Chains A and B, each alone.
Chain A
């Protein structure tokens, strides 16, 4: 089954404790992206990647890192999480990143930073 998977689905952590949220897709997509969803703000793009070893900042990259060492994986790293990073995070992928393509979303990771 074609899908985007994220782990963990739920995470509670404390300020300053490094964490990684994994994202994997099995569709051989070149384009992958991370979003955060906050009430009243909709989805905002954090980082995106057009291909292996190619990443770019979205609208809200501060406090986040990403890497794209393999085509299927695009982990999101919070080196020193803070409470304002409490949010619902979505990973997404599409075939080649062209504007007309459909993005496929993962099920989301709900993060609480205390």
Chain B
């Protein structure tokens, strides 16, 4: 089947620390991959995406590279800020399933000054 597995949280980091949130996927076809972010009390917002192997998505200092050989899409940021505190969701979409979306369980990040 199709699924997304991401690292358990919560994650707590000091400001300016390096962030990695692991995400791996299982897909029956060739998926598009996404990272969404959810700030407290809000809906999800797209952070970045990649649609084919070796593509790198980037936004607001965050990056993730679509690795087909390891079926991974790990999220990284070199220097986190307090404002990055949120819940991060990895997701995949498969057009051949009528555009169903599959989300990971979410990873809560807290950045402390």
Contacts and interface: CB of A to CB of B under 8 A. Distances in A.
The dominant DSSP class at the B interface is strand
B54 to A, nearest CB: 16
Interface stretch (B13-21, B42-50, B70-78): B42-50
A2 interface: no
Interface string A94-109: 0001111011011110
Interface in A20-52: 31, 33, 35, 40-45, 48, 50
A90 interface: yes
A99 B94 contact: yes
22 contacts: A31-B99, A40-B105, A41-B105, A42-B4, A42-B89, A42-B103, A42-B105, A43-B91, A43-B103, A45-B102, A59-B100, A92-B43, A92-B44, A97-B98, A97-B99, A98-B95, A99-B94, A99-B99, A100-B49, A105-B45, A106-B43, A107-B41
